[in-house]
C-alpha cells in the first residue's frame, strides 16, 4: 500500500504550490496560482485523492483501472478519484499528479505560466 505522506510530499515539490484546507481539517487541497490540481481526503481508508484530468483520458483511465473512479464531489468530466489499492503504483500516481498540475498550469495566463516556468 502506498504511503500517503510520500504522495503529498511529491505534490508539494511542484513549483508555486500552496496547501489549503477550505473543506475542513480532513481534506488537504493543493493549488498552483490559486487553482486546485490535487485534493487529499485524510479521513477515508483506503486513502483517496482527486486529480484534474483531461476528459478523454479520464474515461480511458476509469475503463482500464478499477482504482480510478469519477471525481468524488467534483466535476465527473474533469476530475478522477484514485483509490489507494494494492495495484496502484507510485509511478502511476505521480504521473497523474504531473498531468493534473500541468493541465492547470496550461490553463493559466501566459504571464503566470512564465512565472512558474522561471521560478527557481
| CA-to-CA separations, 52 to 56, 58, 70, in angstroms, rounded | 12, 9, 11
Which pTM value belongs to this model?
A: 0.93
Domain spans of the chain, in order of start: 4-118
Per-residue pLDDT of the chain (120 residues; tens, 9 = 90+): 899 999 999 999 999 999 999 999 999 999 999 999 999 989 889 999 999 999 999 999 999 999 999 998 888 889 999 999 989 999 999 999 999 999 999 999 998 888 888 764
The CATH-assigned architecture of domain 4-118 is Alpha-Beta Complex (3.90)
Contacts of 77 (CB under 8 A, 6+ apart): 55, 58
Element (H, E) at 79: strand 79-83
Amino acid at each position: 500500500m502506498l504511503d500517503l505522506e510520500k504522495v503529498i510530499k511529491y505534490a508539494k515539490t511542484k513549483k508555486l504550490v500552496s496547501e489549503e484546507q477550505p473543506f475542513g481539517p480532513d481534506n488537504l487541497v493543493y493549488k498552483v496560482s490559486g487553482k486546485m490540481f490535487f485534493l487529499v481526503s485524510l479521513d477515508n481508508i483506503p486513502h483517496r485523492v482527486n486529480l484534474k484530468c483531461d476528459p478523454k483520458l479520464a474515461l480511458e483511465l476509469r475503463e482500464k483501472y478499477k482504482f480510478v473512479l469519477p471525481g468524488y464531489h467534483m466535476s465527473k468530466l474533469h476530475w478522477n478519484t484514485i483509490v489507494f489499492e494494492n495495484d496502484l503504483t507510485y509511478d502511476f500516481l505521480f504521473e497523474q499528479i504531473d498531468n493534473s498540475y500541468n493541465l492547470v498550469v496550461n490553463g493559466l495566463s501566459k504571464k503566470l505560466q512564465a512565472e512558474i516556468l522561471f521560478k527557481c
